[in-house]
Amino acid sequence: MDLPYEIKALIKGQDIRGIRNFFFKVDAPELQPGFFREDQWWDYKEDCPGSGKSTDTEWAKIAADVAAFHNQEGGILFFGIRNKDFRFLGAKPRLDTKLFNDKIRKYVGDRFWVSFGREFIQSDQSYLGIAVVPPRSVTQVRMLRDGPTLEGKPIFQSGDLCVRIGDETRIFRGSEAIQFAATRGLGVSAATFSVDEPNYRILRPDYKRFVRRETICEAIEKAIRSDRTYVTSLTGIGGIGKTALACWMTLCSYEQKDFDYIVSVSARDRALTGTGIIPVSPTFSSLDDLLRTVCETTGFAEIAEMPSEERLKAVRSDILSQFRGLLFVDNLETVDDPRILTFLEDLPIPTKAIVTSRKAKVRIANFPIEVGPFDKDEAIRFLEGTARAVGKEFMVNMTSAEKEGLVNACDRIPLVIEWLVGRSRDQEKATKTAEGLEAHGKHGEELLEFSFRRVFEEMTGSQRLVCQAVSLINRPLPIEAIAVAANLPLHTASDVLEELQDYSLVERLYDSNYRDLVYTLLPVTSTFLYRELRKSQGLESEIRKRLGDWYQARDVADPTQREQVQRIRRGEQSPELTLLQIARNYQASGDLDNAENFYKQALERNPRSWQCHRELAEFYRHYRDETARCLAHYKQACEVAPRQGPDRAKIFREYGIVLRSSGIASGPRDAAEALEEALKQTPGDPICRHALGDCYAKIMSYEKAIQVLEPLLESPYHNTRVKTYPLLEDCYKATSRTLELLTLKERMTSDKF
């Protein structure tokens, strides 16, 4: 049995009964062998805190534990188990899911929902409490406010990052939290973005370790916060760190909640099409692309569908002018659409922008910052950090004078320093390489080109092939695609990629869309490699053909499956929709097990897809009769639903209808909240209106029920009127509305049943 897999599956499914049976004996609250310890997935508490003011500190500690589990892979809190001898004592205060979440919400927000269950209830009403914390889907959750003080210090502060490490909760703060999140992959939604959540889309930084450059960082912070500047431009040669600095500032702004939304776009000059990889205009190549991304990120889907000119006006008036936002535009020099510059130079207040470019482009309301090489101390810190990351401690242990000589030979350019570290197997090799660079007396762009040339000449044939194959498309690729493009066995391609990481040429990332590792190059490196590729006559065509055949799934015989495999291999913008279609096909044929499997695969491809959550909720509702799972997925669908429109209305309506009949104590009240949102979107929906009126009646909000239900008396549909009469009759009686009750009875009599 794969223990972590089994536990993670139970956590992901919020399966409280399954967890109880997995950890405890069937007929008694006694732990099974192997669980007499705490772990990264579970923790024991002797009792639950009560609801009084004196329990605030204990609830804050639990909130920190919940956030720590959520920021990793989810987890379980058991209440009523003493963690010294793991003996069952029983929790006393009576809690349910709503009360539990109400207690922690002020610290962790409501972006996720903790399920709470009471098991093994004893004669004295003590019980085993099980709280199941779901894993994060996209980004980490920070603490929303300061915790209570303990021994003169707050347990945690607003903005702190809590993470489960081993069997304890660790708390990271400030720059330490940002660094931990970057180095441990927290917050990565896919290989392209570091943050991808409603209202925030931030490019993945191209650094593993950020070296703060005091003068430049202070200038950028000043520019971003200046009331007289609306565009901050970072300019300089390739590999000098423009994108790194821009990403750093953007992530800091996100962490500090400086903006209501952040939108990031980056230009690229090659893309995948149905026939393979071909040179095209940059993906972000026009003002329309930028406007569409703004709409998608901020949730204004209806504006994205407008004609171009109307879209521009609506984005300016309804988004940019109404909210304080930040636009991050990377590689601006590759964008040819002149409207982009006009747009950036006339940004509506209070939106701002930060752009990177080799040369200054924006002229109006601009704060230009020239990014040059590191200073001596920054360069040495960067050298030491890069060397440690790849296990080359000999460079860290060199004398200060020797390290200064190395970074000076690299002109203190970050990318050249990385290449020097990558090529150096020992101190002698590092010194010799540095001397070779220095002897040629090149600087800036010339040194960058010369340094890359030396690296390229040292590569083996397989290494060159792999690098050139990756350079054909400026986005992360799975290893299968790279092996096909380079015409290498999979295991050989894997070995080569490991070697190229040591050279600091290839970066390995985890892509949560593919649910696998992917590989990419830095933009400057990709440019150099693609230039070399084009010098080899016929090689580019060969690679294109091999990739084209693979992406078109010519190795798959069945035409129907071939089309679906094509979409998945290409990693299309919404690959989950293909998997959803496969799931629907299995569902229609009666193969529910395969249908469920493909629904889950679709959700794994895009955990933020409201379509996936809604369809999986409906599957559990109608085909599995599993209300708890249905509610869990509808709740998540609500969190990522469109900002407005019929889809939002349908999600909230069905969520409310399921909640209403769920048997949960707070079901009618929670259902009313969901149905109110649905009715706001579609006031003419009689089903939603009737369900909301019914919920109001159940929670004895009779005045609200009457207000919602009375318009249904004029419904042209007989069945709707018939269902409304008894509800209104009860409400009129409860509020002593004698005249309205008599009028209603007359209508009931005259209406033919």
- Residue 557 placed within a domain: no
Asked if residues 659 and 667 have their Cβ atoms less than 8 Å apart, the reply is: yes
85, 105: one domain: yes
270-301 pLDDT, tens digit each? 333 333 333 333 345 678 878 888 887 887 76
214, 125: one domain: no
182-193 pLDDT, tens digit each? 445 443 334 567
The pLDDT mean for the chain works out to: 81
Q: What would the two tokens of residue 561 be? A: 């499956």
Cis peptide upstream of residue 350 (ω within 30 degrees of 0): yes
423, 469: one domain: no
What is the model's pLDDT at position 657? Answer: 94
Q: Which of 503, 526, 551 is the last residue of a domain?
A: 551
What angle do helix axes 575-588 and 559-570 make, rounded to 10 degrees? 150
| Side-chain-facing half-sphere of 711: CA atoms under 13 Å | 14
95, 164: one domain: yes
364, 399: one domain: no
Q: How many CB atoms are closer than 10 A to CB 25?
A: 12
Beta-bridged to residue 356, according to DSSP, are 234
CA 658 – CA 655 distance, rounded (Å): 5
What is the model's pLDDT at position 79? Answer: 95
Burial (CB count within 10 angstroms: exposed 0-12, middle 13-18, buried 19+), residue 104: buried
Burial (CB count within 10 angstroms: exposed 0-12, middle 13-18, buried 19+), residue 617: buried
Catalogue the long-range contacts made by 182-185 (C-beta closer than 8 Å, 24 or more residues apart).
Answer: 182/207, 182/208, 182/210, 183/208, 183/209, 185/510
CA 233 to chain centre: 27
CA 716 – CA 198 distance, rounded (Å): 40
CA 285 – CA 265 distance, rounded (Å): 10
56, 161: one domain: yes
Say yes or no to pLDDT of 672 above 70.
Answer: yes
Say yes or no to pLDDT of 669 above 90.
Answer: yes
522-565 pLDDT, tens digit each? 666 777 777 777 777 777 788 778 877 877 778 767 676 677 66
What is the model's pLDDT at position 678? Answer: 93
- The more confidently predicted of residues 164 and 412 is 164
69, 209: one domain: no
212, 147: one domain: no
- Residue 493 placed within a domain: yes
CATH at residue 320: 3.40.50.300
491, 523: one domain: yes
CA 240 to chain centre: 28
| Percent of the chain residues topping a pLDDT of 90 | 20
- The more confidently predicted of residues 22 and 418 is 22
- Residue 113 placed within a domain: yes
Q: Which of 370, 398, 420 is the last residue of a domain?
A: 370
Burial (CB count within 10 angstroms: exposed 0-12, middle 13-18, buried 19+), residue 609: buried
Full residue range of the structural domain in which residue 9 is found: 3-171
Say yes or no to pLDDT of 269 above 60.
Answer: no
- Residue 259 placed within a domain: yes
- Residue 178 placed within a domain: no
- Residue 671 placed within a domain: yes
Say yes or no to pLDDT of 243 above 50.
Answer: yes
Say yes or no to pLDDT of 305 above 80.
Answer: no
CATH at residue 629: 1.25.40.10
Q: Which of 351, 370, 389 is the last residue of a domain?
A: 370
- Residue 177 placed within a domain: no
For residues 64-84, give the mean pLDDT: 91
284, 395: one domain: no
- Residue 453 placed within a domain: no
CA 447 to chain centre: 38
DSSP code for 622: I
405-439 pLDDT, tens digit each? 888 888 788 877 877 887 777 888 888 877 777 77
Say yes or no to pLDDT of 747 above 50.
Answer: yes
> What is the residue whose two structure tokens read 């589990």?
69
CA 381 – CA 385 distance, rounded (Å): 6
What is the model's pLDDT at position 187? Answer: 36
- The more confidently predicted of residues 128 and 575 is 128
466, 487: one domain: yes
Contacts of 750 (CB under 8 A, 6+ apart): none
What angle do helix axes 575-588 and 592-605 make, rounded to 10 degrees? 170
What is the model's pLDDT at position 363? Answer: 64
CATH at residue 116: 3.30.950.30
Q: What would the two tokens of residue 712 be? A: 């249904």
Say yes or no to pLDDT of 618 above 90.
Answer: yes
Beta-bridged to residue 117, according to DSSP, are 130
Residue 510 binned pLDDT confidence (cut-offs 50, 70, 90): low
What is the model's pLDDT at position 5? Answer: 65
b/e string for 110-144 if b means 16 or more Cβ within 10 A? Answer: eebbbbbbbbbeeeeebbbbbbbbbbbbbbbbbbb
Say yes or no to pLDDT of 219 above 70.
Answer: yes
The identity of residue 713, as a single letter, is L
Contacts of 706 (CB under 8 A, 6+ apart): 728, 731, 732, 735, 737
For residues 461-469, give the mean pLDDT: 83
How is 291-354 classified by DSSP, letter by letter? HHHHHHHHT-HHHHTS-HHHHHHHIIIIIITTS-EEEEEE-GGG---HHHHHHHHTPPTT-EEE
What angle do helix axes 646-660 and 627-639 make, rounded to 10 degrees? 150
- The more confidently predicted of residues 558 and 626 is 626
How is 404-473 classified by DSSP, letter by letter? HHHHHHTTT-HHHHHHHHHH-SSHHHHHHHHHHHHHTT--HHHHHHHHHHHHHHH--HHHHHHHHHHHTS
Say yes or no to pLDDT of 461 above 50.
Answer: yes
Residue 567 binned pLDDT confidence (cut-offs 50, 70, 90): low
Please give the order of strands across the beta sheet that includes 325-330: 193-197, 200-203, 261-266, 325-330, 352-357, 231-235, 366-370
- The more confidently predicted of residues 379 and 43 is 43
CA 734 – CA 703 distance, rounded (Å): 10
What is the model's pLDDT at position 752? Answer: 60
DSSP code for 620: I
Contacts of 751 (CB under 8 A, 6+ apart): 718, 721, 722, 725
Q: How far is CA 526 from CA 124, 506, 530, 535, in A?
A: 69, 10, 6, 15
CA 352 – CA 349 distance, rounded (Å): 8
What is the model's pLDDT at position 512? Answer: 52
107-146 pLDDT, tens digit each? 887 767 899 999 999 999 999 999 999 887 545 678 888 8
Burial (CB count within 10 angstroms: exposed 0-12, middle 13-18, buried 19+), residue 388: middle
Rg (alpha carbons) of the chain, rounded to whole number = 30
- Counting the structural domains of the chain, the total is 5
Asked if residues 271 and 277 have their Cβ atoms less than 8 Å apart, the reply is: yes
72, 209: one domain: no
What is the model's pLDDT at position 591? Answer: 87
CA 376 to chain centre: 37
For residues 701-720, give the mean pLDDT: 90
What angle do helix axes 539-551 and 559-570 make, rounded to 10 degrees? 120
